[in-house]
Amino acid sequence: MANRVGLALGSNLGNRLAHIKEARDMLRKLMPDDAAYHQAPIYQSEPVDCPPNSPDFFNTVVEIDYIGTPHELLEYTQGIEFHFGRGVVYQTNAPRIIDVDILYFGNESVDGGILTIPHPQLTHRRFVLQPLADIRPDMVLPGDTATIATHLHHLDSGEPPLTLVQTHW
């Protein structure tokens, strides 16, 4: 049985829109033929916790149906990042062609090692919460009691507002 999986996509190097579209298309190949699919608008955001003078990011969230384990999906998402040139050793929060993060995996919780689900920063980052709220405002994450829309409404991250880039892509 498939799990509904939310993934954050971000890019701040090169043709950001093209990179996000290509990563999305690679993720859609994982889905069963009859599966539902959702994608949020793309937003531009200033870098958060990145090296000085890092370029602005394009960010979005996609939701797919996935048959497999969280760790298998992690391997696939890392493969997408490697496809775009990410090295095995990389600087945390450094500029990148593509970043793919698993936000949630159905109702599962994974804690420890190289993977934590739900993503530990999900409810603290406007550039993730806003696009997720666009497609799943009433979602409550495993282990939480507040909706995504509530988290966004009460967010006090100090991040500047996002700029809508493209609704349909």
pLDDT single digits (tens) 68-125: 999 999 999 999 998 898 755 456 667 889 999 999 999 999 997 889 999 999 999 9
Q: What is the chain's mean pLDDT, rounded?
A: 92
Helix boundaries (H) for the chain? 16-28, 70-83, 126-135, 148-153
Phi, psi of 35 (to 5 degrees): -80, 150
Side chain identity at 110, as an amino acid letter?
V
Length of the chain counted residue by residue: 169
Residue 20 is predicted with a pLDDT of 98
CA–CA gap between residue 113 and residue 124 (Å, rounded) = 21
pTM of the predicted model, to two decimals?
Answer: 0.93
Which residue bears the tokens 């690679």? 26
Residue 130 is predicted with a pLDDT of 98
- The total number of structural domains in the chain stands at 1
CATH number at residue 23: 3.30.70.560
Contact 73, 26 (CB under 8 A): no
Average pLDDT of span 17-31: 95
Phi, psi of 104 (to 5 degrees): -150, 160
Domain span at residue 129 reads 3-166
Residue 89 is predicted with a pLDDT of 47
Please report, rounded to a whole number, the percentage of residues in the chain having pLDDT higher than 90: 75
Q: Residue 122 half-sphere exposure, CB side, CA atoms within 13 Å? A: 28
Residue 112 is predicted with a pLDDT of 77
The residues that are catalytic are 86, 96, 99, 101
Helices (H) and strands (E) in the chain, counts: 4, 6
CA–CA gap between residue 5 and residue 143 (Å, rounded) = 16
Please count the other Cβ atoms lying within 10 Å of the Cβ belonging to residue 71.
13
Pairing of strands 38-39, 57-66: antiparallel
